[in-house]
């Protein structure tokens, strides 16, 4: 049966995916909705701007999973990542199925789909019995066809021009 | 001379432009930056979720300009719009040039560029002497070549799949 809560996907190589997810969390919390914001594959202990603000808002539960991405650590053993992140993915599934949140944001979870720490089909099977009205927001750079098929709303963020190409790197308060 | 603050542009027909701008505001405010968030062509007196939250955050100044867009009101006289919005655009220019804000967000200002209530060149001439470090974020659906040329960072939000196509309309806490 079709759910009333949609699956939104923000994908592609352009800037704006995580920031759009933050915006959605803010908008929803402003309208009294309960939000779970889960950030995957965020290793290191630096605090992003969004973390500082979102953690303080009463309708938002913010969880950062301290995993490394194979994209940034080429030597990372995928089996090790899989073991390390299994419980995080299980926690995400539990949160989606709990019915405690109107919106669950899975920021950068597509790393896991891409590197098959969990298969897309397996993940969606595990959230099949979620409450009808839960809205799910997924972000991540790779454009995965199987994921597009699962989603109701898909925006591709396309990089048209990016200053990184000119050697300008991530700036505090802008990129994190 | 090249500015250190960049001009970011989020454009295209996909969902995520305004929400990305909200996310940027949140991130910046979390890192102690001062943000001016200007929403253009927002008529009607309903309160969006973002308005409720952003207005409460201490580093953010939120201004909503109560103008009608020619997109939603086909009968709108463009001369009337131009007269009505002149002072709003002047206020935006003043805010950018003031040096009081690290980031100035011009949400949906591209309506004005598209319908030429102000010309792109004229606008940029008027902010030429802004402080070096001001970051400017522009959002709006139309992909305007002249604007892309002015911007340092451009993401096109491309609609790949949208539930509006299936008759699902704007939902409180999700679309506003």
A112-123 residue pLDDT tens: 999 999 999 999
Q: Which residue of B has its CA nearest to A103?
A: B174
Q: Is the pTM of this model over 0.80?
A: yes
The CB density around residue A146, as the number of other CB atoms within 10 Å, is 11
Report the pLDDT value the prediction gives residue A36, as an integer from 0 to 100. Answer: 98
Average pLDDT, chain A: 92
**How far is residue B51's CA from residue B125's CA, in Å, rounded to a whole number?**
30
Give A18's pLDDT tier (boundaries 50, 70, 90): very high
What values do phi and psi take at B42, rounded to 5? -110, 90
> What is the CATH classification number for the domain harbouring A21?
3.40.50.300
**How far is residue B49's CA from residue A30's CA, in Å, rounded to a whole number?**
4
Give A169's pLDDT tier (boundaries 50, 70, 90): confident
**How far is residue A78's CA from residue A85's CA, in Å, rounded to a whole number?**
10
Whether A103 contacts chain B with CB within 8 A: yes
Task: Say which range, A75-89, B27-41, B79-93, B157-171, has the weakest mean pLDDT.
Answer: B157-171
**Assigned domain for A162 exists:** no
Among the partner residues B102, B158, B173, nearest to A28 by beta-carbon distance: B173
A52 pLDDT higher than 70: yes
Report the pLDDT value the prediction gives residue B51, as an integer from 0 to 100. Answer: 94
H or E segment to which residue A145 belongs:
helix A145-150
**Assigned domain for A174 exists:** no
| Cβ-count burial B81-100 (b if 16+ within 10 Å, e if not) | beebbeebbeebbebbbeee
Task: Say which range, A28-37, B36-45, B94-103, has the weakest mean pLDDT.
Answer: B36-45
Report the pLDDT value the prediction gives residue B3, as an integer from 0 to 100. Answer: 80
**Assigned domain for B37 exists:** yes
**Assigned domain for B128 exists:** yes
**Assigned domain for B82 exists:** yes
**Assigned domain for A86 exists:** yes
Report the pLDDT value the prediction gives residue B77, as an integer from 0 to 100. Answer: 85
Among the partner residues A16, A53, A161, nearest to B157 by beta-carbon distance: A16
How many domains does chain A contain in total? Answer: 1
* Spatial CA neighbour of A12 closest among A172, A158, A161, A176: A158
Report the pLDDT value the prediction gives residue B69, as an integer from 0 to 100. Answer: 80
Which B residues in the span 134-163 are in contact with A, Cβ-Cβ below 8 Å? 135, 148, 151-163
Whether A24 contacts chain B with CB within 8 A: yes
Domain containing residue A92: 7-157
Report the pLDDT value the prediction gives residue A1, as an integer from 0 to 100. Answer: 53
H or E segment to which residue A114 belongs:
helix A110-114
Residue-wise pLDDT for A56-112, tens only, equals 998 999 999 988 888 778 888 888 888 889 999 999 999 999 999 999 999 999 999
Q: What's the rounded mean pLDDT across residues A3-9?
A: 93
Average pLDDT, chain B: 92
Q: What's the rounded mean pLDDT across residues A131-146?
A: 96
Q: To the nearest whole angstrom, how far is the Cα of B102 from the nearest Cα of chain A?
A: 10
Residue-wise pLDDT for B48-106, tens only, equals 999 999 999 989 999 999 888 887 788 888 888 888 899 999 999 999 999 999 999 99
**Assigned domain for B176 exists:** no
Give A45's pLDDT tier (boundaries 50, 70, 90): low
Residue A43 or B157, more confident: B157
H or E segment to which residue B30 belongs:
helix B17-30
Residue B120 or B168, more confident: B120
β-bridge pairing B35-39 and B7-11? unpaired
Report the pLDDT value the prediction gives residue A74, as an integer from 0 to 100. Answer: 81
Report the pLDDT value the prediction gives residue B45, as an integer from 0 to 100. Answer: 65
Whether B107 contacts chain A with CB within 8 A: no
Residue-wise pLDDT for B104-135, tens only, equals 999 999 999 999 999 999 999 999 999 999 99
Report CA Rg, chain B.
Answer: 16
State whether A26 and B27 contact (CB < 8 Å).
no
Chain A residues close to B57, C-beta within 8 Å: 53
**How far is residue A150's CA from residue A53's CA, in Å, rounded to a whole number?**
31
3-class SS of residue A4: coil
Chain B residues close to A152, C-beta within 8 Å: 161, 163
Report the pLDDT value the prediction gives residue A47, as an integer from 0 to 100. Answer: 83
Task: Say which range, A45-54, A164-173, B46-55, B70-79, has the weakest mean pLDDT.
Answer: A164-173
Tokens of A172: 């505090």
Tokens of B151: 């911007």
**How far is residue A42's CA from residue B169's CA, in Å, rounded to a whole number?**
34
**How far is residue B140's CA from residue B18's CA, in Å, rounded to a whole number?**
8
Block residue for tokens 């096109």: B156
**Assigned domain for A169 exists:** no
Report the pLDDT value the prediction gives residue A6, as an integer from 0 to 100. Answer: 95
Q: Which residue of B has its CA nearest to A6?
A: B163
State whether A103 and B174 contact (CB < 8 Å).
yes
């Amino acid at each position: 049966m079709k759910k009333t809560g949609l699956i939104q996907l923000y994908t592609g190589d352009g800037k704006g995916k995580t920031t759009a997810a933050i915006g959605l969390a803010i908008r929803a919390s402003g309208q009294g909705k309960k939000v779970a914001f889960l950030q995957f594959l965020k290793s290191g202990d630096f605090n992003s701007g969004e973390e500082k603000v979102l953690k303080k808002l009463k309708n938002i539960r913010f969880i950062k999973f301290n995993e490394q991405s194979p994209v940034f650590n080429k030597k990372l053993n995928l089996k090790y990542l899989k073991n390390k992140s299994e419980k995080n993915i299980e926690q995400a599934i539990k949160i989606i199925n709990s019915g405690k949140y109107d919106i669950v944001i899975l920021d950068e979870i597509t790393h896991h789909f891409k590197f098959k720490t969990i298969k897309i089909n397996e993940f969606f099977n595990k959230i099949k019995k979620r409450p009808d009205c839960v809205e799910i927001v997924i972000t991540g750079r790779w454009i995965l066809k199987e994921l597009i098929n699962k989603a109701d709303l898909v925006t591709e963020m396309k990089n048209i021009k990016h200053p990184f190409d000119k050697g300008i790197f991530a700036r505090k308060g802008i990129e994190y």
